[in-house]
Homo-oligomer: A and B are copies of this chain.
């Protein structure tokens, strides 16, 4: 076991004892997909399920880092321990790790009850790092009451953050695009709380009104995108629909942050009252299990006949000698044979 711990159990025990070095070690193990991962996951499991998970997303420039910092302050003032996972959709140009570093520099750097970590989303453009759910488990097990997951709202990341978090905040700023753009980008489908940051800027009232109108329309007799289709699995059914709250902030001046915290708390109460919190967490676990299982199966696919079968089938499809369905059947057949 790396980091000078004798066994994975020692390492997990040290993290549960809130030793920052052990927490850091564990997240590094997770990021590196260490062979110890399974042992560690097994040991973490009974310690998890307590943390409140809040996702924060939005386009570049809306003030995510400032808002995250303000939220950390608000939760610390209430005596809660706060973990932050800043997921940077990695770019070869930025080299990743922008958001986290910016936060790390702020007033919370010296607070032992705040733990901030950047995760790069290597090799998965626009998506969260595959390590994010597991890093979340580490912070949960280490006794952080609140875990903020922050990611820039480009690409798949904002969809994934919504499936990971108990409550998802989407940040907007005036002039970054009106409500119609927000609807187009699917923001309303994932937001539990909409935050209009930089609310002291021109156009903020328009943005706020647009969003409030849109939210009301959806909450009223508009379409209800989250409700499962009739006959769908229980897991996806919701007894009622949450109407996203719209809140105004000037995060740089800490204005409106209390309203954000209150909106998050209201969402949590609503979730608890109708079983949605449990449902969301079970769904999250199902996603995670499926993702691990699919990754294992993909690996098996790639391994069939030393990886040459998929290449050969792909060449045949590209040349029009076969179709992708028949090729997939061949691949699956070969996998079953070699099991």
Contacts and interface: CB of A to CB of B under 8 A. Distances in A.
Contact of A186 (B125, B181, B285): B125
Contact of A93 (B223, B278, B301): B223
17 contacts: A49-B319, A60-B184, A91-B184, A92-B222, A93-B188, A125-B189, A126-B156, A152-B184, A155-B186, A281-B318, A285-B313, A286-B310, A289-B310, A290-B310, A293-B328, A293-B331, A296-B328
A8 interface: no
B289 A328 contact: yes
B297 A294 contact: yes
Interface residues of A, number: 84
Interface in A61-86: 61
Contacts of A61: 181
A95 to B, nearest CB: 8
A104 interface: no
Which 3 A/B pairs are nearest by Cβ-Cβ distance?
A286-B314, A285-B317, A292-B328
User: Per DSSP, are chain A's interface residues mostly helix, strand or loop, or mixed?
Assistant: helix
A318 B278 contact: yes
Given A45-B321, A332-B297, A189 B315 contact: no
A39 B115 CA distance: 56
A184 to B, nearest CB: 5
Contacts of A48: 320
Contacts of A127: 156
Interface string A208-241: 0000001000100011110000000111000000
Nearest to A176: B177
